[in-house]
Amino acid sequence: MNRGMRTPYAATLLLAALPLQAAEPLTLQQVVRRAVENSPEVRLARLGNDVAVRQTALQRSAFQPNLFTGSGAAYTNGFPQTPGGGGPSVFSLSFVQTLFNPPLRGEVRAAEQRSQMQQVEIERVRDAVMQRAAADYLELVTVRHSLRLLEGERDSAQRVYAIVEQRVAAGLELPIEQTRAALVRARIEQRIAALEGRQQVLEADLRDLLGLPESESIELAESEPPPFPDLRASEAVALALRYSPELRKAALERLARQQELQGQRGGYWPSVDLVGQYSVFSKINNYDQFYRNFQRNNLNVGLQIQIPLFRSRTRAEIALADSQLRQAEGELTLQQRSVERQVRQQFWHVRELEAGREVARLELQLARQNLDLAQARFQQGQATLADVERARLEENEKWLAFLDAGLNYQKSELELLRLTGRLAQWVQSP
């Protein structure tokens, strides 16, 4: 992109961002960093990641050792068999660990992929907070500068109205001109009221993002967002496809579905558990008399293998997992197309707004030249003071239009920086 036209607007923002009080001002990068550190949305996303990690550990625990102990009492009549089927014991210790279970292993691996999705979600939320804080910063700078311009425009409109009022009283102007001057003055007051309200909203939003008390004023230093690299649209799309959190989450979900399908297909294979049990038998109800050799201490260790001969649920689970995988693949394809389309549209929207900002700059330059011409003609007696003030009003209007065009361009560029991951790189850079 053409970066040659950034200087005039940069100078404008430097004037707009001058602090009103001798307080320590905040740069754009500082505001964004503090917003991320203070953001409850980011903290909530991190808590969601902790939950996902613990859920994965819970599912993985099936393949880890599990040890149980206990005792109990029961009434028996006849063969002294406990309700669980074993002999009466004073104390028992049981051990179980799953060694081979493909469906369960597939669920664990899928849970690991979804845990990584929560890490990507943190990045997505963080990027949204950064963009919001940066947009508020830039808009507040523009609003404050616009209010300063409108204060001057209000004075010019008041002078024009006073001159026209005198000329109407002297019969040199029609009454409709006085009404026009009053309308211009009223519109300026309306815009000032709207901007003052917007300034209050932006300041409250920034205080909330930064964790500042309501009584503390917000002073902003002169700073701009990083320029987007001079790339082609295809290069910007390639950057976004590599970075996009939404696309990475969709890819991880597809991988999780693949793991689930692979696990369900292993449902036709046997499952193997390592089991063990130690029991101290009791002689209750003459248990020792039922066997020729009674042994109080007993230990059993071995493998428990379950071979599925016929399990109708397995086929249904495989079919479901296969459908879910195809759905995830379709969603990944749609997400990729969405990212490509969004980045291309945003890329050309930035170019369009950049051209619009240049048009606004030239219109402002033309209005300045018209003001200089009106002042020269006034000094030569070829124009009235009202003509000069009208030219000054026109210059102020073009200033405001130039500020709005610059703000729209920078917000659009921020979105493109977010989509390609350059905004996060800039914020994290020293």
pLDDT tens digits for the chain (430 residues)? 444 434 344 434 333 343 334 457 889 999 999 999 999 999 999 999 999 999 899 888 888 888 887 665 655 655 566 655 566 666 778 888 888 889 999 999 999 999 999 999 999 999 999 999 999 999 999 999 999 989 888 888 888 889 888 988 888 888 898 898 899 889 889 999 999 999 999 999 999 998 888 888 888 887 788 888 888 999 999 999 999 999 999 999 999 999 999 999 998 888 898 888 887 776 666 656 666 676 777 778 888 888 888 778 888 999 999 999 999 999 999 999 999 999 999 999 999 999 999 999 999 999 999 989 988 888 888 888 778 888 888 888 899 999 999 999 999 999 999 999 999 988 888 7
pTM above 0.85, yes or no: no
Pairing outcome for strands 271-281 and 297-306: antiparallel
Task: Assign domain 6-73+88-428 to its CATH architecture.
Answer: Up-down Bundle (1.20)
User: Rounded to an integer, what distance in angstroms lies between the CA atom of residue 94 and that of residue 320?
Assistant: 36
User: Rounded to an integer, what distance in angstroms lies between the CA atom of residue 220 and that of residue 17?
Assistant: 6
Q: In angstroms, how far is the first alpha carbon of the chain from the final one?
A: 25
The full set of domain ranges for the chain reads 6-73+88-428
User: How far apart, in Å, are the Cα atoms of 377 and each of 7, 54, 386, 391?
Assistant: 31, 79, 12, 12
